[in-house]
Amino acid sequence: EAGVTQFPSHSVIEKGQTVTLRCDPISGHDNLYWYRRVMGKEIKFLLHFVKESKQDESGMPNNRFLAERTGGTYSTLKVQPAELEDSGVYFCASSQDGLSGRSYNEQFFGPGTRLTVL
């Protein structure tokens, strides 16, 4: 079974440019999450989709960030315009509802996209 995939693995852009990150969750997972770790800080929650709907976007830092989940499948996170403080690693995760195997809400993480804004 394929895991969560993210594209690109790395992105280097200039301040003021636009970047779009993509996440493909595990097939059949209705829940999709975005997290990020900025330099030297802890991993922080950004938002949560249930299928195509935003369930919780309380962690989105500002309106320069726009997340979408087309048809409840893959998701994109767009940063426009990018600022220096947006540099960090952006993780996507997905999960099934309820008790699944070993746990409730076991989230499966992708490898992350390392974003560098110069």
Partner 1 sequence: LAKTTQPISMDSYEGQEVNITCSHNNIATNDYITWYQQFPSQGPRFIIQGYKTKVTNEVASLFIPADRKSSTLSLPRVSLSDTAVYYCLVGDRYYKLSFGAGTTVTVRA
Q: How far is the CB of 38 from partner 1 (least distance, A)?
A: 13
Q: Residues touching partner 1: how many (CB under 8 A)?
A: 25
Alpha carbons 66 and 111: distance in angstroms, whole number:
21
Instruction: Rule CB under 8 A: say whether 111 interacts with partner 1.
Output: yes
Instruction: Rule CB under 8 A: say whether 45 interacts with partner 1.
Output: yes
Instruction: Rule CB under 8 A: say whether 68 interacts with partner 1.
Output: no
Q: Which is nearer to partner 1, 19 or 94 (CB)?
A: 94
Instruction: Rule CB under 8 A: say whether 116 interacts with partner 1.
Output: no
What amino acid occupies position 96?
Q
